[in-house]
Structure 1
Amino acid sequence: MRGLRPLRICLVASSRFPIREPFAGGLEALTHALATELGRRGHHVTLFAAPGSDPALDVHELAVPTYDGSAAARLDVNAPSDLWMAEHHAYLGLMLDLVRDGAQRFDVVHNNSLHHLPVAMAPALTVPLVTTLHTPPVPWLESAAALAPDSAVFAAVSRCTSEAWAHAVRSTTILNGVDVHRWRAGPGGGPAVWSGRLVREKAPHEAIDAAAAAGVPLVLAGPAPDDDYFRAEIAPRLGPSAVHVGHLDHLALARLLGRASVALVTPAWDEPYGLVAAEAMACGTPVAAYARGALPEIVAPGTGALAVAGDVADLARAITEARACDRDVVRRHAERHCSLDRMVDDYERLYGSLVDVVAAA
């Protein structure tokens, strides 16, 4: 953003999933893109993330210590898991360090994690902290937000997410974005594509059924972390017209999406944003999606078609309708509304307002 001096930014990410390709999910992909673009613009970004994150970034590992509880502690039937305890200590250690000397090291802290401690401990910091809300309200984040002062700064990834949190916090909406220079327009004309984690809450089995009803072959791309779900709902549906190509990096996925005639997005929950829709549209590929969560904000008229959530027959109708969209129109919409440049502009503006308040104090 013009006029904003280079900032020292502390970017807090997941302690569970490395920020590297192939990404575990949209949050990790978004964090990598944000850190990269802020660095390209001249800011000094220190990323606190899980071990194994991309060494091209200035990564400080969120050390997740092994928790070895005492015999007495393990007798507690309500004791949290060892993983929960280890992550708790990882974020507690980071936040105590930031309380101690964060103001000397950073101009702003951006909490891009889903952990509650950065939110709960924000009042103890002397450096401004902004938290991005990537999920609908969940108990641990909602309870932490209740401790936040009125001056706490929250950004929601969509209007839908902002409204879902309105009872607990005030937030500004900063829509997510994708690097439209990496997600390039392709020729289309190929099969339908479904991308993401193959898990029940994203309902890829319904995408398979809808594509079959529409008479369109389907390629599924993404990790399958739930073996039981995959065996029960996905494997029996695979065949000549529906194939799973595994977990792809962004280059391979962009090529696949660029050749697709339509991208399917089938959340069985209120998707806070829907990064896979933005990725597809950046490739010029129209989207057929359930009208849930933020997807009606992302898929505009002329860029795809929306279907009644959970209605496979209506999704088959949307597939046929979306395939007729003009790919140039779809690409231009992504450039204007779904780009990483626009998202980072918005975050720079927010950072600048926080730093100005501190300077004036």
Structure 2
Amino acid sequence: MIGTSRYPIRQPFAGGLEALVWQLVGRLRSRGHDVTLFAGEGSDGVDGEFAEYAFPSRGWEASRTAAGDQSMPERAFMSDHHAYLRLLMALAGPLANRFDVIHNHSLHHLPVAMAPLLHTPMLTTLHTPPTPWLESAIQAAPQTTRGPGSFAAVSAFIAQQWRVLRPFAGPDVVSNGVDLTSWVAGQGGEMLSWSGRIVPEKAPHLAIDAARKAGMPLVIAGPLSDLRYFEQAIRPRLGLDVRYAGHLAVPELAQLVGSSAAVLVTPLWDEPYGLVVAESLACGTPVVAFDRGGIPEVVADSSLGALVPPGDVAAMAAAVGDVVDLDRVAVREHAERYLSVDRMVTKYEKAYQRLTSTSSVGADRTA
């Protein structure tokens, strides 16, 4: 399992991708699979045998001569490049026959670009719409049976966005799942909540506007991924009716969501899936969300919440009154039927089985 290089896979999660990989690794292991995680330094459950391949938090240090090159890319870019290049070269060399399948969750182009060179079949989960680097890697892959590997998209919306994949098989849609033992049904309450990375494109400032128009208090939770945005657009507007609860681990965040009358979801970009939405429904808490990206696939009908035009704060505020009285038991039951992590893991298991049944990898693999 290849995770991200920027953030460790542990609580409190930096974002939905890290939460998904953490859940997937844990649930696969609980089903008896031998899973090795390659991810940011400090991640949970990293096998000591492969610890040398963890992505170091300090990043890559160029020599003084290389660092002085005027064409030197920014340090974060080079650190990502070095981390993935080092791992993929190991998977093509000393680790070539150690694994049955490689499941790639990174947003980097190198795993896909090097997939045709590996002995082990690779499944890449597409967590975002196309990016130039990743799209280029897929298009440049040789038109062979192995090609750039197999693909899964986290929503039908993302699958449609990745038209570049048409020369290859896929992508299958494997929707993200929620751990229903962690995201438990709550009793609701008198306030609204918003959670996620605090960045302009997630727009918690619009949730503040909507909550105040609706006349209800709001609690905001999430990592300060853009401190400047928080200091300029959020902190000055905090008060008795709007509170920042911090970057919460899952138990505390689930408690917050479960005690909310409704959850506001305010993306100014096309959310690939909307894990926050699924987590809210698992708590029995209805949502009011901007109608963008993959979110309509999660908010399947009006019994779960309301979709409003993107950016329309007045419509969001008006919809709050319509959703706070929805049947929370029915909302939770929908999540149990369609949004569980177990459904997601079962689909991935089937994908692994397809890959291994057609793979010609040698018989000396140990994981």
TM-score, normalised via structure 2 length: 0.91
**After the TM superposition, which residues 189-228 of structure 1 pair with which residues of structure 2 at under 5 Å, given as runs?**
189-228=189-228
Query: Alpha-carbon deviation of 1:236?
Result: 2.1
Q: Secondary structure at the match of 1:114?
A: coil
Alignment partners' CA distance in 1, 2:28 and 2:313: 41
Matched letter for residue 186 of structure 1 = G
Offset from partner CA, 1:95-115 (integer Å, 9 cap, x none): 111112445210000001111
- Give yes or no for contact 1:195–1:221 (8 Å, CA) kept in 2: yes
- Give yes or no for contact 2:180–2:336 (8 Å, CA) kept in 1: yes
1:334 alignment counterpart: 335
Alignment partners' CA distance in 1, 2:352 and 2:124: 11
Query: Alpha-carbon deviation of 1:83?
Result: 2.1
Alignment partners' CA distance in 2, 1:128 and 1:246: 40
Offset from partner CA, 1:70-126 (integer Å, 9 cap, x none): 4466333x4311221122111111111111244521000000111111000000011
Alignment partners' CA distance in 2, 1:148 and 1:37: 32
Matched letter for residue 313 of structure 2 = V
2:357 alignment counterpart: 356
TM-score, normalised via structure 1 length: 0.93
1:243 alignment counterpart: 243
- 1:43 and 2:33 equivalent? yes
Offset from partner CA, 1:39-79 (integer Å, 9 cap, x none): 00000000001111114777735244532244466333x43
Query: Alpha-carbon deviation of 1:171?
Result: 0.8
Matched letter for residue 157 of structure 1 = V
Alignment partners' CA distance in 2, 1:142 and 1:243: 40
Q: Secondary structure at the match of 2:322?
A: helix
What is the Cα-based RMSD across aligned positions, in Å? 1.8
Q: Which moved more, 1:342-351 or 1:312-321?
A: 312-321
2:61 to 44, 61, 67: 67
Q: Which moved more, 1:264-273 or 1:142-151?
A: 142-151
- 1:258 and 2:250 equivalent? no
Q: Secondary structure at the match of 1:306?
A: strand
Number of matched residues? 350
Matched letter for residue 125 of structure 2 = T
Q: Secondary structure at the match of 2:350?
A: helix
- 1:54 and 2:13 equivalent? no
**After the TM superposition, which residues 1-361 of structure 1 pair with which residues of structure 2 at under 5 Å, given as runs?**
11-55=1-45, 60=51, 61-64=53-56, 66-71=60-65, 74-76=68-70, 78-149=71-142, 151=145, 152-169=149-166, 170-301=170-301, 302-358=303-359
Q: CA 1:66–1:220 in structure 2 vs 1: closer, same or farther (change >3 Å)?
A: same
Alignment partners' CA distance in 2, 1:39 and 1:254: 24
- Give yes or no for contact 1:158–1:174 (8 Å, CA) kept in 2: yes
Alignment partners' CA distance in 1, 2:63 and 2:360: 45
How many percent of aligned residue pairs carry the same amino acid?
A: 51
Offset from partner CA, 1:291-335 (integer Å, 9 cap, x none): 000000011211110010011011112222221211011101111
Matched letter for residue 17 of structure 1 = Y
Alignment partners' CA distance in 2, 1:116 and 1:88: 9
Structure 2 residue runs of 5 or longer lacking an equivalent are 363-367
Query: Alpha-carbon deviation of 1:346?
Result: 0.6
- Give yes or no for contact 2:220–2:242 (8 Å, CA) kept in 1: yes
